[in-house]
Structure 1
Amino acid sequence: MNDIVTEVEKIFDEATPLVEEKWQSFLSLGRKANEEELFSELSFCVLTANWSALGGIKAQNEIGKGFVHFSLSELENALKKVGHRFPNARANYIVSNRWIIGNLKEVLNMPTLEAREYLVKNVKGIGWKEASHFLRNVGKGEVAILDKHIMRMMLSAHLIDEIPKGWTKKRYLDYESRLGPIAKHFDMPLGKLDLYLWYSVKKRVDK
């Protein structure tokens, strides 16, 4: 734990303006977004799995409402154009997930941990990390995005013994809880701590 606290303290002042700006954008999205905008954010999280946040941002910017309105073949071609590693599979997931449009605000009104479990069980291409990513990006701060970069930090700091190849609910909650004391140390939610951890690795704040 102390190793991660030290790393965050090193970059805290330079990262804070960027983190706060991004955090406010997440809160605003959660308050103001319509169903199509929320679905775009959910689709972004589907795309980033085994790809990259920057790639997902590029795809989201270029495809826009196509996540909602493109045919399957149009979406496949759009994802190929932006260089996605798995354009056909991800397009299939996104088209299959359109049933949730009109229900996303209702999901966000659930207690956050219940909303996460609902998304994991019912939305294609959404696992524990991706569901946490989506919820954090709409201002739900109680969850951590346990991606490979964060896992490596935790492993190096001896917070965990191994980086898992896959997630169960029990393991995700266990690993997430190990970041809790660090978030408490900085008096911030887990979702915001993630942005500082990301900055310490990448020297930028994505989403």
Structure 2
Amino acid sequence: MKLIKDIESIYFEAKPLVEKRWNEFVNLGENGTELELFSELSFCVLTANWSAKGGIKAQNEIGPEGFAKLDIDELEYALRKVGHRFPKTRAQYIVSNRWIIGTIRHLFVLPYYQMREFIVKNMKGIGWKESSHFLRNVGYGEVAILDKHILRLMNENNLIDSIPKGWTKKRYLEYEKILKDVLENHFNEPIGKLDLYLWYLVKKDVDK
């Protein structure tokens, strides 16, 4: 399959960057404070229909304290300042999600699939892709982040017939399994980590 050959062609070139980023994810999951974990959850809210680089810039500018404590107008202004496409809506989502601060780490006792579904059902601005993104960014390798770039690769390699316009739980898990079955068996790496190789394949960089 072309996708496997393409990943093989960049695997060793990308590996040092991937390992560095993966270790950062694992460290955040193991040692991150509640505010740092909430900052990462907010990052995933921000990257929906935006970009990882933009989300990283917002995290650096606003900081964990800002996501947790700025009032809604200040947060909207901060998001507007870093160029977010939807500063008002995303500020509303983040403020609405603050109730979770102090209990995020308690979710880590759940199996990853229960934790992911809880986040989808209870967090504003978080769907299946964004919840998977958060779990991966705190060191859960079992989840795939099915963003438009990954879906395009899947479609080009005839793994899926079309790119969906929205997600149901059933469809997300079905597409995730397809990607897992193809890549995990070949590379002996978890799909969450392999996402970084796919990202490098598309962007020649490893964001998060």
Could you tell me the TM-score, scaled by structure 1's length?
Answer: 0.99
Report the counterpart of residue 49 of structure 2 in structure 1: 50
User: How far is the alpha carbon of 1:3 from its aligned partner?
Assistant: 1.6
Amino acid at match of 2:169: K
Report the counterpart of residue 131 of structure 2 in structure 1: 131
User: How far is the alpha carbon of 1:100 from its aligned partner?
Assistant: 0.3
Report the counterpart of residue 89 of structure 2 in structure 1: 89
Amino acid at match of 1:62: E
How far does the alpha carbon of each residue in 1:87-136 deviate from its partner, in whole angstroms, 9 at most, with x for none? 00000000000000011001122100100000000000000000000000
Q: Structure 1: how far apart are the matches of 2:125 and 2:103?
A: 18
Gaps of 5+ in 2: none
Q: Structure 1: how far apart are the matches of 2:91 and 2:30?
A: 27
Gaps of 5+ in 1: none
After superposition, where does 1:8-23 map in structure 2 within 5 Å? 8-23=7-22
Q: Give 4+ residue runs of structure 1 displaced > 4 Å after superposition.
A: none
Could you tell me the TM-score, scaled by structure 2's length?
Answer: 0.98
RMSD: 0.5
Question: SS at the partner of 1:126?
Answer: coil
Q: Structure 2: how far apart are the matches of 1:136 and 1:13?
A: 21
After superposition, where does 1:25-174 map in structure 2 within 5 Å? 25-64=24-63, 65-174=65-174
User: How far is the alpha carbon of 1:184 from its aligned partner?
Assistant: 2.0
Q: Structure 2: how far apart are the matches of 1:195 and 1:4?
A: 14
After superposition, where does 1:191-206 map in structure 2 within 5 Å? 191-206=192-207
Q: Structure 1: how far apart are the matches of 2:94 and 2:108?
A: 19
Q: What is the percentage of aligned positions where both structures have the same residue?
A: 65
How far does the alpha carbon of each residue in 1:37-85 deviate from its partner, in whole angstroms, 9 at most, with x for none? 0000000000000000000000000000200010000000000000000
Q: Structure 1: how far apart are the matches of 2:45 and 2:71?
A: 17
Q: Structure 2: how far apart are the matches of 1:98 and 1:5?
A: 41
